[in-house]
Amino acid sequence: MSPTLSDLEAPDAFQARHIGPDAQDRQHMLRAVGAASMDQLITETVPAGIRLGHGLALPEGCDEAAMLDRMRAIADRNRVVTSMIGMGYYGTHTPPVILRNVLENPGWYTAYTPYQPEISQGRLEALLTFQTMVADLTGLEIANASLLDEATAAAEAMTLARRVGRSKAEAFFVDANCHPQTIAVLRTRAEPLGIPVIVGDPVRDLDPAAVFAALFQYPGTDGAIPDLAAPIDRLHGDRALAIVATDLLALTVLKAPGEFGADIAVGSAQRFGVPMGYGGPHAAFIATRDAFRRSLPGRLVGLSVDRDGRPALRLALQTREQHIRRDKATSNICTAQVLLAVIAGLYACWHGPDGLTRIARRSHRLASLFADGLRHGGATPRHGTFFDTVTIPCPGTADHRVARALAEGINIRRVDADAVAVSFDETSTRGTVEALWRAFEVDRPTLSVDRLDAEAAGDRLPDGLVRRSPFLTHPTFSNYRSETEMLRYLRRLADKDIALDRAMIPLGSCTMKLNAAAEMLPISWPAFARIHPFAPAEQAQGYKDLVDRLSRALEEITGYDAVSLQPNAGSQGEYAGLLAIRAYHRSRGDLDRTVCLIPESAHGTNPASAVMAGFRVVVVACDADGNVDVDDLKAKAAEHGAHLGALMVTYPSTHGVFEAAIGEICGIVHDHGGQVYVDGANLNALVGLAKPGKFGADVSHLNLHKTFCIPHGGGGPGVGPIGVRAHLAPFLPNHPLRSDAGPASGIGPVSAAPYGSAGILPISWAYIEMMGAEGLRRASEQAILSANYIAARLRPHYPVLYAGQNDRVAHEVILDTRPLKAEAGISVDDIAKRLIDYGFHAPTMSFPVPGTLMIEPTESEGLAEIDRFCEAMIAIRQEIARVAQGHWPADDNPLVNAPHTADDLLVDRWAHAYERSVAAYPVPGLKDRKYWPPVARVDQAYGDRHLVCSCPSIDGYREAAE
């Protein structure tokens, strides 16, 4: 019989491409795990008490072309207008060579955070470039590898200053000329920490003795360029610290904050080649003095050496971070904005110091010409000097002026009823100036840009604040200025790394699934990329539509009543969710519910977020099976009784197990008046099978960069929306500049932009749309089957640490490698590094259990790749056995010497106890697809003892190598 037309239309074509194993593979895997059918496996795995009895109420799936048509229709409802609103978001041209070879290149966007440095040298180098660029431009000694946005960077700077400062004062001063969203986020972040925020004029209102630090904006949000030397001196006189929020482009022509005494600088690198994307994602930066480096939040790339003394990069000073310090961490930040930091750093390489200066001076010149012309029309700018932003007083007529500009195709900023502001940028032209003159009714037929420029007064930068110091002098900022050189440099860097375009990345808790090309395409469409976050709502109807559709779909998937898309990483979602809990308790007069129970197996962000949200962390034990120890939970819930604020628990657990007691656990906490936060990082095991909002949780964050296909970008961007039950909905985040972005009664903004990283929301919507209700459920089922298949295959070789009912694991599995230390002297690191020789990225190491490996295959990996990985693990186990048997010495075997570089192997006299071929080609298949690590095992301690966090001089490299 011939197929029907519906069959031929294949609505499930995409899901079959997204899910790796096909029907036949699935049968093979089911047999291997001893289940007669998928349904039997799921029934055995997912506790009956939480299992959904019905399918998700979402449409059926579609293929890529149909989704793209629908996406186009959504995008068409956005209107691209030249936005000169400023406020930290500017027009920029993403250099096409970077757009195509980085932003649109899976070699970059599908990589994971560089915790395994040997397979990450390319992106580590790009991040070191970013750090060097930030340190140079701000005139400070050390910069990290990105924060989430300018406003949260300012908040991080506030807490950094409180940590390291010697002033005993309690309050924090904020210059009223900071961006309004920055001030609003600071208020959100300061409140639970008990920090009074004083907003005022630095000259009139700053009492240095009353504050531990102050934040200034330079240039100010209205364009003014304040001379901060005096206020900073006054602060220092009272041992208070100075934080300067600044603009990297402006710093190519203006004196660096470090040169007038700033202790910390923050800002956004957006205008270095990253599209506005309706607010994000963009890389924020933070830089400070060397003395404060141990208190710097976020990831920091540093130089070290490998075991052969070659210079090698890796993440430095990790003990500052939440995965080690937990509730004592410097910040909760985990996923950051790596891909965007990479782009910003490369933008600086592409343009070089002279090119950047030219862009800055051009933007400034156009702003000056515009201002000059205005004088001819009778308007006078508020400030005589400025960089790119001109504020124009216009008593009572701001709305009229905004409308006139819009009629010319330009968004300008409505400062208030009596003033507007215009920010020039890389994309501005002489045509822009002329259009604005018309908008301002400068009615002078003789006025021409060229004539004015010839007459002109020239620059409007304040004399005393012009930059004289050099910057970006390292050769990396001048070596790649031709497209040919840049193209090859990008290829060279990408070739050093393992991303999903090379092999499976079996990282537990990270859900490294396919990021389909069709999902990625729309993010560079101008209709999504070029929208300013504060553009008039009518221009962002497409985004509104997208936000609504995605929010409704996530509500359906999670069972929650309301969703906020504002948090721009999982950590920020945790923070927002806990703030919602706190606000809920307080709204009921429960001021003392400040204890947050957290199982010892929790991810480090959980305790770090709890502390930031004003909670005190009390750790709950896990039992021998790795589950929350219910008796300990009962005891602690009872002990803290009226003080119990919340429990944070991950489901399925961080141990990769569906804990059967989850319903009871939620019940215990509710009985004592607490709220339940379910960390949704592991939602990939739940979609279509169970809903946290229905099995007892009150709030969860989801990681769209795990379950919903936003690529990891080498360590960000992410999106960490939260879902809440109805009683918490009044306490979701909101935004002062966009009243429909959250409830009026909300907790304030937790991100700079109303919808956080809106620019990448199309990815998750595309995934849900193409998979449909059934495809989403099937993905979860396959993720569970694949993990159980790996457990079944590897169990004879490595103990599986934890399993749930019927001995089933959820979507990930922990292998206990600790006994191998005693048996053969082989550590978990040795196994992880040896996997590199087999062409694989290691599984998650030492989280949640030190000394173990956690493997998460995701639904996207096909059977052949999973088998290839299992065979590598089995071969490694046999190698370990040979060491244990004394066949190879404990200190000279392919494991402890892994990974092996080509250089290591090409020595004239091979002097190891094993063959070269064993080192390089331990299994035959590798000859076709060998990955060569660029460096051997990196010496972590050396780098932390000799910290270097910016591009070293060539001599520096040589010294490191000696």
Partner 1 sequence: MTIRKFTEDHEWIDVVDGVGTVGITNHAQEQLGDVVFVELPEVGATIAKGASVGVVESVKAASDIYTPVSGEVVAVNEALVEDPAQVNADPEAGAWFYRIRLSKPDELDGLLAAEAYQALLG
Ligand X SMILES: Cc1ncc(COP(=O)(O)O)c(C=O)c1O
User: H helices of 885-939, where?
Assistant: 902-905, 916-920
The interface partner of residue 319, options being ligand X, partner 1, none and the CB cut-off 5 to 8 Å by kind, is partner 1
Nearer to partner 1, 318 or 473 (CB): 318
Between the two ends of the chain, the Cα-to-Cα distance in Å is 74
Q: If DSSP states are collapsed to H, E and C, what string results for 670-716? A: HHCCCEEEEEECCHHHCCCCCCHHHCCCCEEEECCCCCCCCCCCCCC
- Written as six digits, the tokens of 567 are 């948090």
Q: Give the CA distances from residue 418 to residues 122, 384, 414, 673, 828, in Å, rounded to whole numbers and listed in that order.
A: 50, 18, 8, 50, 64
- Based on the shown chain and the rule CB under 6 A, indicate whether residue 509 belongs to the binding site for ligand X: yes
The interface partner of residue 941, options being ligand X, partner 1, none and the CB cut-off 5 to 8 Å by kind, is partner 1
Binding mask 919-958 for partner 1 (x = CB under 8 A): ---------------------xx--xx-------------
Candidates 320-328, 806-814, 872-880, 920-928 — which segment interacts with partner 1 by CB under 8 A?
Answer: 320-328
- Based on the shown chain and the rule CB under 6 A, indicate whether residue 156 belongs to the binding site for ligand X: no
The interface partner of residue 605, options being partner 1, ligand X, none and the CB cut-off 5 to 8 Å by kind, is ligand X
**Interacting positions 795-854 with partner 1 (CB under 8 A):** 846
The interface partner of residue 522, options being partner 1, ligand X, none and the CB cut-off 5 to 8 Å by kind, is none
The interface partner of residue 335, options being ligand X, partner 1, none and the CB cut-off 5 to 8 Å by kind, is ligand X
- Based on the shown chain and the rule CB under 8 A, indicate whether residue 319 belongs to the binding site for partner 1: yes
Nearer to partner 1, 294 or 451 (CB): 294
How many CB atoms sit inside 10 A of residue 7's CB? 9
8 A C-beta contact, residue 764 and residue 708: yes
Nearer to ligand X, 703 or 858 (CB): 703
How many residues line the site for partner 1 (CB under 8 A)?
11
Picking from 589, 534, 514, the residue whose alpha carbon sits closest to that of residue 411 is: 534
How many residues line the site for ligand X (CB under 6 A)?
16
- Based on the shown chain and the rule CB under 6 A, indicate whether residue 654 belongs to the binding site for ligand X: yes
Maximum Cα–Cα distance for the chain, whole Å?
Answer: 92
Residues 165, 462, 696, 720: which binds ligand X (CB under 6 A)?
Answer: 720
Residues 650, 757, 852, 950: which binds ligand X (CB under 6 A)?
Answer: 650
Nearer to ligand X, 480 or 560 (CB): 560
What does the alpha-carbon distance between residue 625 and residue 50 come to, in Å, rounded to a whole number? 20
- Based on the shown chain and the rule CB under 6 A, indicate whether residue 335 belongs to the binding site for ligand X: yes
What does the alpha-carbon distance between residue 294 and residue 86 come to, in Å, rounded to a whole number? 34
Binding mask 663-682 for ligand X (x = CB under 6 A): ----------------x-x-
Q: Which strands, in side-by-side order, build the sheet including 389-393?
A: 82-84, 410-416, 419-423, 389-393
The interface partner of residue 325, options being ligand X, partner 1, none and the CB cut-off 5 to 8 Å by kind, is partner 1
8 A C-beta contact, residue 60 and residue 772: yes
The interface partner of residue 627, options being ligand X, partner 1, none and the CB cut-off 5 to 8 Å by kind, is none
DSSP annotation string for 713-754 = TTT------EEE-GGGGGGS---TT-GGGS-TTS---SSSST
Beta bridge partners of 241: 213
Q: For the CB of residue 324, give the shortest distance to partner 1 in the complex, in Å.
A: 6
Q: For the CB of residue 682, give the shortest distance to ligand X in the complex, in Å.
A: 7
The interface partner of residue 940, options being ligand X, partner 1, none and the CB cut-off 5 to 8 Å by kind, is partner 1
Side chain identity at 211, as an amino acid letter?
V
Binding mask 181-220 for partner 1 (x = CB under 8 A): ----------------------------------------
Q: If you search the block for the tokens 């998937």, which residue do you land on? A: 557
Nearer to ligand X, 567 or 943 (CB): 567
Residues 231, 718, 934, 943: which binds ligand X (CB under 6 A)?
Answer: 718
How many CB atoms sit inside 10 A of residue 53's CB? 4
Nearer to ligand X, 603 or 808 (CB): 603
Residues 43, 105, 295, 318: which binds partner 1 (CB under 8 A)?
Answer: 318
What does the alpha-carbon distance between residue 201 and residue 176 come to, in Å, rounded to a whole number? 6
Nearer to partner 1, 136 or 321 (CB): 321
What does the alpha-carbon distance between residue 869 and residue 950 come to, in Å, rounded to a whole number? 36
Nearer to partner 1, 294 or 616 (CB): 294
**Interacting positions 323-362 with partner 1 (CB under 8 A):** 324-325, 328
Residue with the closest Cβ to ligand X?
570
Q: For the CB of residue 166, give the shortest distance to partner 1 in the complex, in Å.
A: 13
- Written as six digits, the tokens of 90 are 């500017």
Residues 72, 294, 492, 821: which binds partner 1 (CB under 8 A)?
Answer: 294
Binding mask 548-587 for ligand X (x = CB under 6 A): ---------------------xxx----------------
**Pairing, β 301-306 against β 284-288:** unpaired
8 A C-beta contact, residue 694 and residue 868: no
Q: For the CB of residue 609, give the shortest distance to ligand X in the complex, in Å.
A: 9
The interface partner of residue 569, options being partner 1, ligand X, none and the CB cut-off 5 to 8 Å by kind, is ligand X
How many CB atoms sit inside 10 A of residue 201's CB? 10
What does the alpha-carbon distance between residue 704 and residue 513 come to, in Å, rounded to a whole number? 11
Picking from 888, 939, 890, the residue whose alpha carbon sits closest to that of residue 918 is: 888
Q: For the CB of residue 213, give the shortest distance to partner 1 in the complex, in Å.
A: 22
Query: What values do phi and psi take at 539, rounded to 5?
Result: -80, -10
CA gyration radius, the chain: 28
The interface partner of residue 650, options being partner 1, ligand X, none and the CB cut-off 5 to 8 Å by kind, is ligand X
What does the alpha-carbon distance between residue 595 and residue 412 come to, in Å, rounded to a whole number? 47
Nearer to partner 1, 318 or 478 (CB): 318
The interface partner of residue 718, options being partner 1, ligand X, none and the CB cut-off 5 to 8 Å by kind, is ligand X
Note if the bond before 717 is cis, omega within 30 degrees.
yes
Nearer to partner 1, 328 or 492 (CB): 328
8 A C-beta contact, residue 193 and residue 332: no
**Interacting positions 396-415 with partner 1 (CB under 8 A):** none
Mention every residue, 6+ apart, whose C-beta is less than 8 A from residue 218. Answer: 225, 226, 228, 244, 245, 246, 247, 250, 254, 257
Q: If you search the block for the tokens 């976020």, which residue do you land on? A: 298
Note if the bond before 281 is cis, omega within 30 degrees.
yes
Q: For the CB of residue 587, give the shortest distance to ligand X in the complex, in Å.
A: 27
Q: For the CB of residue 617, give the shortest distance to ligand X in the complex, in Å.
A: 15
Nearer to ligand X, 338 or 779 (CB): 338
Nearer to ligand X, 286 or 681 (CB): 681
Picking from 629, 638, 563, the residue whose alpha carbon sits closest to that of residue 601 is: 629
- Based on the shown chain and the rule CB under 6 A, indicate whether residue 280 belongs to the binding site for ligand X: no
**Interacting positions 65-124 with ligand X (CB under 6 A):** none
- Based on the shown chain and the rule CB under 6 A, indicate whether residue 782 belongs to the binding site for ligand X: no
Binding mask 590-619 for ligand X (x = CB under 6 A): -------------x-x--------------
Q: For the CB of residue 729, give the shortest distance to ligand X in the complex, in Å.
A: 22
Q: If you search the block for the tokens 């990815």, which residue do you land on? A: 763
Beta bridge partners of 245: 217, 266
Our CA dihedral for 891, 896, 897, 899, rounded to 10 degrees, sits at 180
Which residues here bind partner 1, judged by CB under 8 A? 294, 318-319, 324-325, 328, 846, 940-941, 944-945
Which residues here bind ligand X, judged by CB under 6 A? 334-335, 509-510, 569-571, 603, 605, 650, 654, 679, 681, 703, 718, 720
